[in-house]
Structure 1
Amino acid sequence: MSHIKEHEWQDGLCSFCDGGHCMMGCFCPCILVNKTHELLEDPHKQDPSGCGGVGCGWCLLNMCGGWGFIVGLMQRNKIRDKYRIEGGICGDIMTNLCCPCCSVIQQYKEVEMRRDAAGPSKMGYQAQAPMHAPGH
């Protein structure tokens, strides 16, 4: 279990090569946007999907005039609120406008690291598979 720093991002904006998400964040950031969304919705999810509406929306908005930063901005704000990370809307806007891929990577790594640091003991009840009698 790793140590979580309170009120701050676990990795800097330019630490995008750490953790193995650099290529995906640079060439297919919409996948990380959707994975981040799924982890925010269900922090217990072990393998979030890269395909989904939020990632597609981010991609489409970027293709239609670069408006995808709005999705990134909303996601970044949600992460800061959820984990009580210091910062403000101006910094979030600049981060998503100037460094969208770095921001997407940082956001995914943040929710992933916090999920992993919580460990299985904080995941709540995990239903077990039903038992079957031998021969049935």
Structure 2
Amino acid sequence: MPIAFWCVLIAIFLPYLGTSIAKFTGGGFGPRQNHDPRAFLAGLEGYRKRANAFQLNSFEVTPAFAAAVIIAHVVNNAEPSTIDRLAIVWVTSRLLYLIFYVADLALLRSLAWFAGMALIVALFVVSA
């Protein structure tokens, strides 16, 4: 299986890294909060609130990334190694996005987001 497909699997699970930071660092989440975890997450502040925002953003962008990877492979105009590299860099951009989001480095976070979106576009461009 191509590396890019493994990157799609990683992308599917990346949101849960954000929610784990939001729920399980700093305490406060337990069996009682698990009855209504969305209410718990909505009441967070600081880095935990930003980690939850990363989770939500990840659920929004992952389908576009997955589609770009699959389309790039189906069209078969790009070298598989190029697709793999773009996918790896996309995952890296998302990890940086998480780090910058949690650290409240807004400009760097936005740059990482734009880089990720540019990589999705790049996957389409190399396939054209």
Tell me the TM-score normalised to structure 2 length.
0.30
More helix by share: 2
